[in-house]
Amino acid sequence: MEVEAKWEKVKVVHAKAIAEWTLECNCQKILGVKPKSLPPKPKRATKQSIEQGMNEYADLRSSDAQDLTDKIKRRRRGRKRMGSPSLDLTVI
């Protein structure tokens, strides 16, 4: 169900982007802009790419990803404790 809802949203957003693009191209044509200089047509994601993205997101939420996140957080906390070495800038 989530995939279908996201797919419908992608189609609506793409339709709006196409309408804006068409308006922009028509305005530029009236101003005399060459066709090859017009902005490219907006691209729409495929339904398959949305499904893959949702699957990847679900995989990231797994416990393995949480373990990795915990390790990274611990590593960052350890670096903060060490601090940076002080520099002696006295001239000899």
What domain count does the chain have?
Answer: 1
Q: Do the domain assignments include residue 80?
A: no
Between CA 18 and CA 12 the distance in angstroms is 10
Q: Model's pTM, two decimal places?
A: 0.58
Q: Do the domain assignments include residue 24?
A: yes
Q: Do the domain assignments include residue 45?
A: yes
pLDDT of res. 70: 76
Structural domain span for residue 20? 2-60
Q: 13-67 pLDDT, tens per residue?
A: 999 999 999 999 999 999 999 999 999 999 998 988 888 887 777 766 665 666 7
Q: Do the domain assignments include residue 42?
A: yes
In 3-state terms, what secondary structure has residue 81? helix
DSSP string, 6-69: HHHHHHHHHHHHHHHHHHHHHHHHHTT--GGGSPPPPP---HHHHHHHHHHHHHHTSHHHHHHH
Between CA 31 and CA 23 the distance in angstroms is 13
Q: Do the domain assignments include residue 79?
A: no
Q: Do the domain assignments include residue 12?
A: yes
Q: Do the domain assignments include residue 88?
A: no
